[in-house]
A and B are shown apart, each in its own frame.
Chain A
């Protein structure tokens, strides 16, 4: 991956942080590659469907559904990478004005809230996904068990929570400020 996508981290200070760093990198790298395959698959299905419909009067019945499910997979797997890289969009208007100690406290609070939110929503997500599984509910076109695409949300949220924790273990609270421009 390029320099922008794979950011260099400060050297780890102990084993825990080293392990966390390794694990985080590995998960983030796998996740973004899954997303990449999903995105290229969307491109391929889209074009096959257009060509099939226009030139051969043979549209792909499941094209739309497959592209949408792949988009959900793309978003929630790449979200893991975004989380690991600390690139979630936020407004650092007030935080920038605070003294260093307060800023650290705010960062810790945000981390706690992020993990709590991801796990809270993931737990409700688990209820829905397991019920969809129990009911063997199917999608219209692919007749695919609907718990599979919806399960992407569950897995994505759990990963986001886990990677937020790993990131805290790897970098502590004093990670360097990052500016993209």
Chain B
């Protein structure tokens, strides 16, 4: 029965082309009625509970901010500046995309927000630069999860609470892994540009840079204001998303005059449709994970692993596999709440540093966000950029492989996560 409800039923319905939220709700209702003996009222409460989460506000707000920046001239000016500066380097545009996502990661904890905001800015420029749409969308889909790894990260805060670790130390531990991911992705896009012989732009000339920079002053100030506001204690990372909206509206309408207020309203309506497409899945996934939590299934899975008495390196591999599987169905916060209490005792017994383990958990769940077939980043990218999911599934494969290699590196080289801590102390 369990296999039917958690495996066969959802996959069959997905294959028929049923909306994801319907698939999740059917599986949830079936599980509650036939396995859990739980009244369906729990579905309603779980749906409301999974949306009534403050950090989720970053999603609609950054989607709106990204839409306005893309239409109101901010995005174009930023791209022109970047191309004027580094256009002469092979793979510069996708590298700039990776760098932007990493920078965005330092001001947000939501990777869907990153896909929306950075993707809106960079995808048109990537296409203009000769990269295929599928490569560009896959790049941003996979790069967006860097947001979860680079502090501040909401999943890390939740892990810290669940595993009783210091979130500050976990943030510190996340810096090097975040940079490793960024460097590996940058290396890959450079090779991609070489293999596909993507044309190199003109060598930068000072006069061009000056012109581009003069035009882009207000645009460049956008990230500066957001980062400055967060690290200056003016607003929280989630609130920053709302500030970004207001800034984008003011600059686009009153300074660049590339948008009218009526157009802002149109963009708002279109953003709302995107938000609903994505967040109805967040809501249904919340109900589904409530069912999984109460089903006892994760506990049995972990018990099974523990009973095998594996060597440490094998145990780590097994834990990575479990986390990838769980992360492919559940969003990181829910997955951490369910898995951390189960896995941390095992990790402790195996003598793993809890912060190192926290990074392993976080990166695994981050990868899960774009691992087919489920993955909120995949759905978000599909909604925002219209790329069909099957094509996106193929497109993210190289990035998935890169992340797996990084995952192994981070798993078996604890120094990468723990070294900054040693310096700090």
Chain A residues within CB distance 8 Å of chain B: 1-2, 4-5, 32-33, 35-36, 38-40, 42-43, 46-47, 49-50, 54, 64, 67-68, 71-72, 74-79, 81-82, 85, 87-96, 106-107, 109-110, 113-114, 117-118, 120-121, 123-125, 127-129, 149-150, 153-154, 179-181
Contact = CB atoms under 8 A, between A and B. Distances in A.
B61 A42 contact: yes
Contacts of A39: 60, 64, 268, 271-272, 275
A122 B57 CA distance: 24
Given A82-B273, A114-B19, A181-B387, A42 B133 contact: no
B256 interface: no
B40 A121 contact: yes
8 contacts: A40-B268, A42-B61, A81-B272, A89-B20, A89-B278, A90-B19, A91-B389, A110-B19
B268 A74 contact: no
A interface SS class: helix
B343 interface: no
Nearest to A79: B276
Contacts of B386: 179-181
Contact of A78 (B39, B266, B272, B373): B272
A79 B25 contact: no
A181 B134 CA distance: 10
A88 B278 CA distance: 9
Interface stretch (B42-50, B175-183, B331-339): B42-50
Interface stretch (B89-97, B186-194, B239-247): B239-247
A78 B275 contact: yes
Contact of A113 (B22, B235, B265): B22
Contacts of B44: 121, 124-125, 127-129, 150, 153-154
Contacts of A153: 44, 47-48
Given A35-B272, A49-B239, A91-B20, 6 more contacts: A2-B266, A36-B268, A47-B243, A75-B51, A113-B13, A181-B387
Interface in B238-288: 239, 241-243, 245-246, 265-266, 268-273, 275-281, 283
A124 B51 CA distance: 18
B41 A117 contact: no
B57 A117 contact: no
A80 to B, nearest CB: 8
Contacts of A42: 57, 60-61, 242
A102 to B, nearest CB: 10
A127 B245 CA distance: 38
Interface string B16-35: 11111110011001000000
Kindly name the residue among A5, A36, A129 whose own CB sees the greatest number of chain B CB atoms within 10 A: A36
B56 interface: yes
B135 to A, nearest CB: 13
A95 B268 contact: no
Contacts of A110: 16-19, 22
A1 B272 CA distance: 12
Contacts of A4: 270
B60 A71 contact: yes
B40 A95 contact: no
A165 B269 CA distance: 24
A64 B243 CA distance: 15
Contacts of A54: 234-235
Contact of A93 (B13, B20, B246, B389): B389
Given A46-B242, A78-B275, A114-B18, A120 B29 contact: yes
B17 A68 contact: no
Contacts of B77: none
Given A43-B246, A113-B13, A36 B265 contact: yes
Given A39-B60, A72-B48, A109-B16, A91 B373 contact: yes
A1 B273 CA distance: 12
A91 B234 CA distance: 42
Nearest to B137: A181
User: Chain A CB within 10 Å — which of B276, B278, B279, B389 has the most?
Assistant: B276
B390 interface: yes
Interface stretch (B206-214, B377-385, B405-413): B377-385
Contacts of B40: 120-121, 123-124
Given A32-B269, A82-B273, A120-B29, A89 B57 contact: no
A89 B43 contact: no
Nearest to B32: A124
Contact of A88 (B19, B242, B268, B270): B19
B54 interface: yes
B277 A88 contact: yes
A1 B390 CA distance: 29
Contacts of A49: 239
B394 to A, nearest CB: 11
Contacts of A154: 44
B304 interface: no
Contact of A43 (B15, B64, B389): B64
A46 B249 CA distance: 15
A44 to B, nearest CB: 8
